[in-house]
Homo-oligomer: A and B are copies of this chain.
Amino acid sequence: MHLIKFIEIMAILVGAFSGFIEARRKRMDLVGVFTVAFITAFGGGTLRDILLDKRPLFWVIHQEYAILIFVLALVATPLMRTLRHILSERLIVIADAIGLGLFSVAGVSSALDAHMPLFIASMMGVITGIFGGVLRDIVCNEVPMVFRDGKPYAICAFLGNWLFLLMRAVDLPYNLALWVSALFITGLRLVTWRFDMRLGR
């Protein structure tokens, strides 16, 4: 339980941090930095909950996360140059891969609770995992990175979501399915990234 909480916070922080970086690259001010960080961290889950018509939203129940990002935006803006040195690209990719795994599996599981058909549930998992970044790129006036760089990212989430659905279909325990699938997504993302594998265009 404590581990989940820890990873969850880490995933949100990583999302927020990638928002920080992009917002700074676009020379945004404090308001932009906070908003883009917030959208990146919570956009995917929020879109999923709107599509499923589920309320209250995650960040409404846990306003401490919103406050955390707000404080970080205040603190991080002057520290951004230093932070970028400390946080190497490798570290960011690893944390982001953990976030992708966790968010995706949380998404597919939540869609399953809402009695979605299987293919839709797998899509909801992908949406939860990737649409924070998609919305970040739209607000920053870019073609979303995840749609064009050809590196397996959404695909990892998609395959891992089906692993989860399969494990649930053969009645494996919920927690086991959750952890194995999240680990699978994170691992697949890291392996394909490490060996620079590409999707055909």
Which residues does A use to contact B, with CB under 8 Å? 23, 26-32, 35-36, 46, 50-53, 55, 57, 59-60, 63, 66-67, 70, 77-78, 116-120, 123, 134, 138-144, 146-150, 153-155, 199-201
Protomer copies: 3
* Complexed CA–CA distance, A147 and B30 (Å): 8
Which applies to chain A's interface (DSSP): helix, strand, loop or mixed?
helix
Q: What are 30 A-B interface contacts by the 8 Å CB criterion?
A: A27-B148, A28-B147, A28-B201, A29-B147, A29-B201, A30-B155, A30-B199, A30-B200, A30-B201, A31-B147, A31-B153, A31-B154, A31-B155, A31-B199, A50-B50, A50-B51, A51-B57, A52-B55, A53-B55, A60-B120, A63-B119, A66-B120, A66-B123, A67-B119, A138-B139, A138-B141, A139-B143, A139-B147, A140-B143, A141-B141
